[in-house]
Chain A
Amino acid sequence: MSVLIRGNPGDTHLMMGNEAIVRGALEAGISVAAGYPGTPSSEIIETLARLSPNTDPDNYPDIYTEWSVNEKVALEVAAAASFAGLRSLAVMKQPGVNVAADFLMHLALSGVRAGMVLIVADDPGALSSINEGETRLYAKLMEIPMLEPGNFQEAKDMTCWAFELSERLNMPVLVRTVTRLSHASGSVTLGTLTIPDRRAFFRFDGEVLDPMEGPIMTPPVEIKHRSQLAKLDQAAEIFEGSIFNTYEGPEAPELLIITTSICDLYSREVVNLYDLGNRVGILKLGTTWPLPSRTVLERLKTTRKVLFIEEVQPFIEEAVKVLFAGSDMVGQGMAGSGEAGSGTPGSGTAGSGMARPGIAFYGKLSRHIPMAGEMNPERITRALETILDLAPGLNGGYPVGQAETLPIPPREISFCPGCPHRASFFSINMVLALDNRRGFTCGDIGCYSMGMLPGGFSTLKTLHSMGSGSGLASGFGKLGRFGMNQPVVAVCGDSTFFHSAMPPLVNAIHNKSAFTLVILDNSGTAMTGFQPHPGLPVDTIGNQVPSIDIEKVCRAMGALTRTCDPFDLETTQQYLLDCINDPEGVKVLILKQACALSPQKRHTRSFEVKVDKELCIGDACGCNRICTRIFSCPGLIWDGESLRAEINEVLCVGCGVCASICPSNAIVLKEI
């Protein structure tokens, strides 16, 4: 970590992509950074928080770092710093841009002052998300410049340069990273740290249209929009000479790969592995919006076949095809008529009877690359095999027929041993089943999203965006007049409550909807690494701050609110029953118990847990193995030999909940 502050210029260090981004921001001399946690972006703000002046005032930069309540507010907090003359960073995962998009659109139009960079981490393949949303289209939609680092060094260098670009254009600049870069590590050679003059002052007395001295707002819209578009043209011009756009390969390649982001490393890997360096060239674009059109067209002129390697949507593929269609490479009367741009495999000439140069475009649109899912070397290999007619099966491995391994069970993700969510979902599930009116639970975003899986008893029946469980429940809760009598439950976490469940709760109370909101309060933004939120008495860097009491907030709104410990199954189930039996209004049940991995709980045990082999009578019990088959905590084992339950002593964290589900009282607790 200290390398980020103490590393000397010119030194090379192994850094995670997200750390390289942090170093780039420090080299640019940022003063303010704000974000909302979300995999794979969280380490950026987290790292900056650790480097805060609180820890070591003599050695650390004076940066204000904030975990904001949601991404829109984070973007606003960062923009305020820029308006007041300080370089600032906003950080989020892709779905966060959807939340921040309203402000972003206006910010793009109003412009910024000191350099302001928005880092967005996409998650192609949904490795830790419930979508594989694409941020790059926002650059086009919002009309702002975008950079896409292709390796660890560029993650640092581009982040740093993005601030300079932002100041040249007075525009926010988007830097788009992906999981495989943000969470991977590689070599980074350091540059020089900048210690800026950090005096903040917001000027507003100048002319309305003066970007540096006037008020900052979007009207007069048409004039501002024209100026925004002119700045975007200027960005394209700057991009033409950018060192972040590179070409490697023969002067006239048989196939030109156009790629960006981490896909560049996959492309290189495959070209090297199959020794195709004399046939295939790679144009790597780092400045991907607006496209540097001359750079691209010059390369198109040298080849007859182009393959696009990018993730997830065919963003560059479409942009380049549009560029090609409007270029002098397409003769009069040919645009849109021939197969140029059609992606027809193997064709390089026109089909309308007239010989002319054409380009066959391959990629997602031609289905040579799958439209969904993340990129990897194999997808590129398969595309190259088809396009270049390579012998298949270059992958190696085992002789045919010898690679079959044993049938091995999948490893579903689930709640950790001692996780309060397992207990909470066990109770919700139990109560809805007892009620027998086919009640259901609307899910939300957090570790508790796993409530949709068998490990969470498949409790969740809807799962969408942050806060949507409560919004959907608000809607379901109004359907009684149309005959719906199913009890409606929504869950949300403590951090999610503040992020975006409060407005739907207000909506539901005001509109007299009927449902039960269960707030799974585990004392932190647990899934992403225990970032603090407004419900806790500490801020991002550990200072004491006022906390906002969820229970009081809900009461003030007018909801019938109760709190209990989800490990107390009996009380929890009784409260839940009371809630769903009340047909009127919004009820809130706060199930409060800290996450098993939280710093305050980790390595502590409440109980020593043992199975009494005399009392556990296994299959003869009639419990149908409720502890392992239903509750299925990873801390429990069903011993196939003795046909009894057992405790996995390595994994059990001693929460003691399983003891209260065993009908034979065979799980014995000893207080530690």
Chain B
Amino acid sequence: MVNLLHDPYNLIITGVGGQGNVISSRMIGNMLAAKGFKVTIGETFGASQRGGSVMSHVRISSKATLSPQIPVHRAHMVVSLEPMETLRVLEDYGNQDICVICNTRPTHPIGVISGRLDYPSMAEMEGRIRELSRQSWFFDATSMATRIGDPIFANIIMAGALAATGDLPLERSLFEKNLKSKFSPDKVTLNLKAFDQGYAMI
């Protein structure tokens, strides 16, 4: 088993209900569990997902089973499917050494759609995220995913980007093996395309 950059390594995958957090966290968790790591994934689903903020805590260790909640300010990486949700996570779990991979496509909350509240500009958000992280990457994963065929692929694009950071041993071959056990060959091809496009963003 390779040594982890941090043990435990605390990853947060965040976004809005319906963007597919659970698919993403499970896939990454399965890949690392297959390598022999002890993985704990903390998440909640149900009503909280109806357009609400969602967050998966993925914790990877070579030693012990960890709690499903990362202690505050102890995350190492935030993979975010929605820019404003990145800031929400940083507020509670951020620290000076944190890294961020951020999808720049906003999903407006009901309060913004109805005009009661303002959604911050991307420039403002990006600036603040950069200040609050050691390293950060920004790209429009939703547009990339739509071009591949479905906005849901944004998940896989983000996972590819995470793999490219080298923080976790998420090899493409392992990803491919994982996909083949679950999907038909045409879906595997599309998922790999998404993974590669994400990988190229880092």
A interface residues with partner B (beta carbon < 8 Å): 12-14, 39-40, 127-128, 151-153, 179-181, 183-187, 262, 265-266, 268-270, 272-273, 376-378, 381, 395-399, 402-403, 405-416, 447, 449-450, 454-455, 527-528, 625, 628-630, 632-634, 636-638, 648, 650-651
**B52 at interface (Cβ–Cβ under 8 A)?**
yes
Q: Which residues of A contact B91 (CB under 8 A)?
A: 403, 405
Given A14-B29, A185-B41, A273-B71, A416–B111 Cβ distance below 8 Å? Answer: no
Complex CA distance for A447 and B48, rounded to whole angstroms: 10
Complex CA distance for A116 and B136, rounded to whole angstroms: 53
Q: Would you list 14 pairs from A and B whose C-beta atoms are within 8 A, ordered by A residue?
A: A14-B29, A153-B65, A184-B42, A185-B29, A185-B40, A265-B40, A265-B65, A398-B94, A398-B96, A406-B125, A409-B84, A409-B112, A415-B51, A629-B115
Cβ-closest chain B residue relative to A150: B65
Say whether B115 contacts A127, CB under 8 Å.
no
Say whether A411 contacts B51, CB under 8 Å.
yes
Interface 0/1 of B110-130, CB less than 8 Å to A: 111111111110001100100
Complex CA distance for A239 and B69, rounded to whole angstroms: 29
Q: Which residues of A contact B117 (CB under 8 A)?
A: 409-410
Complex CA distance for A405 and B83, rounded to whole angstroms: 13
Say whether A410 contacts B109, CB under 8 Å.
yes
**B62 at interface (Cβ–Cβ under 8 A)?**
no
Cβ-closest chain B residue relative to A93: B46
Say whether B67 contacts A377, CB under 8 Å.
yes
Q: Which of A40, A153, A410 contacts B46 (CB 8 A)?
A: A40
Given A406-B120, A454-B110, A184–B16 Cβ distance below 8 Å? Answer: no
Q: Which residues of A contact B180 (CB under 8 A)?
A: none
Complex CA distance for A625 and B90, rounded to whole angstroms: 34
**B18 at interface (Cβ–Cβ under 8 A)?**
yes
Say whether A632 contacts B110, CB under 8 Å.
yes
Complex CA distance for A403 and B90, rounded to whole angstroms: 8
Interface 0/1 of B80-122, CB less than 8 Å to A: 0000110110110011100000000101111111111111100
Cβ-closest chain B residue relative to A632: B114
B32-73, CB < 8 A from A: 33, 38-53, 64-69, 71-73
Say whether A270 contacts B71, CB under 8 Å.
yes
Complex CA distance for A636 and B109, rounded to whole angstroms: 11
Known pairs A377-B69, A381-B71 / 13 extra A-B pairs, C-beta < 8 Å? A13-B33, A185-B26, A186-B40, A187-B65, A262-B67, A406-B124, A408-B84, A411-B52, A412-B109, A414-B110, A415-B50, A632-B113, A650-B146
Complex CA distance for A187 and B63, rounded to whole angstroms: 12
Which 6 pairs, one residue from A and one from B, show the smallest C-beta to C-beta distance?
A128-B46, A39-B46, A397-B73, A184-B68, A265-B67, A409-B117
Cβ-closest chain B residue relative to A180: B68
Say whether B146 contacts A638, CB under 8 Å.
no
Cβ-closest chain B residue relative to A17: B68
Q: Nearest chain A CB to B6's CB is how many angstroms away?
A: 13
Q: Which of A272, A413, A447, A650 contacts B151 (CB 8 A)?
A: A650
Q: Which residues of B contact A185 (CB under 8 A)?
A: 26, 29, 39-41
Complex CA distance for A325 and B124, rounded to whole angstroms: 60
Given A39-B47, A398-B132, A412-B109, A403–B94 Cβ distance below 8 Å? Answer: yes
Say whether B109 contacts A406, CB under 8 Å.
no
Given A186-B65, A398-B132, A651-B107, A637–B48 Cβ distance below 8 Å? Answer: no
Q: Which residues of A contact B112 (CB under 8 A)?
A: 409
Say whether B110 contacts A128, CB under 8 Å.
no
Say whether A413 contacts B46, CB under 8 Å.
no
Complex CA distance for A651 and B88, rounded to whole angstroms: 22
Q: Which residues of A contact B47 (CB under 8 A)?
A: 39, 128, 413, 447, 449-450, 527
Say whether A409 contacts B33, CB under 8 Å.
no
Say whether B113 contacts A396, CB under 8 Å.
no
Cβ-closest chain A residue relative to B25: A185
Q: Which residues of B contact A14 (CB under 8 A)?
A: 26, 29-30, 33, 39, 41
**B191 at interface (Cβ–Cβ under 8 A)?**
no
Say whether B33 contacts A187, CB under 8 Å.
yes
Say whether A408 contacts B87, CB under 8 Å.
yes
**B142 at interface (Cβ–Cβ under 8 A)?**
yes
Q: Which residues of A contact B38 (CB under 8 A)?
A: 186-187
Q: Nearest chain A CB to B111's CB is how many angstroms away?
A: 5
**B169 at interface (Cβ–Cβ under 8 A)?**
no
Q: Nearest chain A CB to B47's CB is how many angstroms away?
A: 5
Q: Which residues of B contact A636 (CB under 8 A)?
A: 113
Q: Which residues of A contact B87 (CB under 8 A)?
A: 405-406, 408
Q: Nearest chain B CB to A584's CB is how many angstroms away?
A: 37
Q: Which residues of B contact A528 (CB under 8 A)?
A: 46
Q: Which residues of B contact A625 (CB under 8 A)?
A: 115
Given A40-B46, A185-B40, A377-B71, A405–B90 Cβ distance below 8 Å? Answer: yes
Complex CA distance for A108 and B170, rounded to whole angstroms: 51
Q: Nearest chain B CB to A496's CB is how many angstroms away?
A: 14
Q: Which residues of B contact A395 (CB under 8 A)?
A: 71-74
Cβ-closest chain A residue relative to B26: A185
Complex CA distance for A650 and B65, rounded to whole angstroms: 38
Say whether B33 contacts A650, CB under 8 Å.
no
Q: Which of A269, A376, A628, A632 contacts B66 (CB 8 A)?
A: A269
Most buried by B among A381, A409, A528, A633: A409
Complex CA distance for A395 and B116, rounded to whole angstroms: 35
Q: Which residues of A contact B95 (CB under 8 A)?
A: 396-398
Say whether B94 contacts A397, CB under 8 Å.
yes
Complex CA distance for A412 and B53, rounded to whole angstroms: 8
Say whether B109 contacts A409, CB under 8 Å.
yes
Say whether A127 contacts B113, CB under 8 Å.
no
Q: Which residues of A contact B39 (CB under 8 A)?
A: 14, 185-187
